[in-house]
Amino acid sequence: MDRIVDIATDGRHLSLHRGFLVVSQDREEVGRIPLDDVHAVLLHAHGTTWSANLITALAERGAPVVHCGANHAPVAMTLPLVGHHAQNARFRAQWAASVPLTKQLWRQLVSAKIAMQGAVLAWRGVAGAEAFPLMARRVKSGDSDNLEAQAARRYWPLLMGAEFRRDRDSHGANSLLNYGYAVLRASVARAVVAAGLHPTIGIAHANRGNAMALADDLIEPFRPLVDALVVTLIGDDVVELTPPIKRRFARLIAFDLDFDGESSPVSLAAVRLAQSLARAFETGRPTLRLFAPPTPLEWAALVAPTED
């Protein structure tokens, strides 16, 4: 079972012992998890220390270690150097991908994101949701009409209220969004490396200081999953990241998505998407494996609280 390990208590030490990730406080063990169950490790606390052999063991299993700032947004990430037997060839194909190919790939990702945003709004019963499937179908190569930004200007006020502004440095809903996106970004980054791709070489995200540009490209269709959970939490007057709330975000990677009638958890959906991108780079054919938006019943299951 894939698990997100979140370290949020100051002064914890992480070490490796007989195939387990061991968490200690003042030299006393407080918990352990089988390494093979660890999907990713998120570090939020001050004074966290770890052993080098633990980081090596996590890298050998493809598990990223994500370092988060005070706003719960990632500031650094540890990833394995080797993730696929054909990594060198795929790096070369990724770097050599033509502009028309990358533009077609970005069109599919933006279209899928807008369709997901529309599905969230429709599930919430928001007037105006019907415009989003139309916008998704109108996305052109490279999103030349900037429909992603147009959709965002409509989406956030409809979902969160007219006063809401997406700001990574703000608290409340924005802080919850940061944390949820960090969980998904770790899962997508893991999938990117496992597919033999370089996370820094993006399709559309090209900030020179962004080492996770490709992960930030591929995460786009997944973001509305976090949005749906956050708007539900805000409706329940949740504005702080407590351990139970973090567990609800961590469970997002186990949520089933539909691929042509076949269900796959988010963690595997990210792998399928990254693998299809690698094949697109190798073949020059812009075909991505993308999932269908959840049904209203599936959205309800996504945000439903569960027994811890």
Binding site residue list for Mn(2+): 148, 205, 220
Contact 287, 278 (CB under 8 A): no
DSSP 176: H
Helices (H), ranges, 19-96: 52-60, 87-96
Residues marked as binding? Answer: 148, 205, 220
Helices (H), ranges, the chain: 52-60, 87-96, 99-123, 131-138, 147-160, 173-194, 213-218, 223-235, 243-250, 266-283, 296-303
Paired tokens of 149:
């930004």
* Polymer length of the chain: 308
Closest CA to 147 of 190, 119, 112: 112
DSSP 139: P
Helices (H), ranges, 139-265: 147-160, 173-194, 213-218, 223-235, 243-250
In terms of DSSP bridges, do strands 65-68 and 38-43 run parallel, antiparallel, or are they unpaired? parallel
Paired tokens of 145:
């009409």
Alpha carbon separation from 121 to 138, 151, 160, 252 (Å, rounded): 19, 12, 10, 19
CA–CA separation, 79 and 62 (whole Å):
7
CA 188 to mean position of chain CA atoms:
5
